[in-house]
Amino acid sequence: MTTVGHKVLALGLAAAIVALALAPAYAQQAGPKAKININTAPASELEALPRIGPTVAQRIVDFRTKNGNFKKVEEIMKVQGIGEKIFDEIKDLITVGAETAPK
């Protein structure tokens, strides 16, 4: 291998080492996202949930308008189009607001 080849190889290895060293720091910056409040979120925000498209997002908004706020996240399964499978995918991503301690 020529001197130029050694320099290219060394430069490539150095770049790989730097990239690997910075990867954990970048991953920590992302951090967890805040949960989506199904009692206050507009349809556009609800669409960010897995398997929730515009139609089901609007049904969530319409349901809470007609029936009032959700008391528990499980109540979202009362909305047409959200069954147990979808609920299992979104339950850790949603909230109904401030949790209150039992009295």
For residue 81, the domain's CATH number is: 1.10.150.320
**Cα–Cα distance, 75 to 56 (Å, whole number):** 14
pLDDT at 13: 67
Domain match, 15 and 52 both = no
Residue-wise pLDDT tens digits, 40-98: 999 999 999 999 999 999 999 999 999 999 999 999 999 999 999 999 999 999 999 97
In a domain, 103, yes or no: no
Strands (E) across 9-63 are located at 36-37
Residue 73 contacts residue 38 (beta carbons within 8 Å): yes
Residue 38 contacts residue 70 (beta carbons within 8 Å): yes
Domain match, 9 and 54 both = no
Domain match, 61 and 14 both = no
Lowest mean pLDDT among 3-12, 20-29, 53-62: 20-29
Residue of 58, 36, 40 whose CA lies nearest to 48: 36
Domain match, 2 and 40 both = no
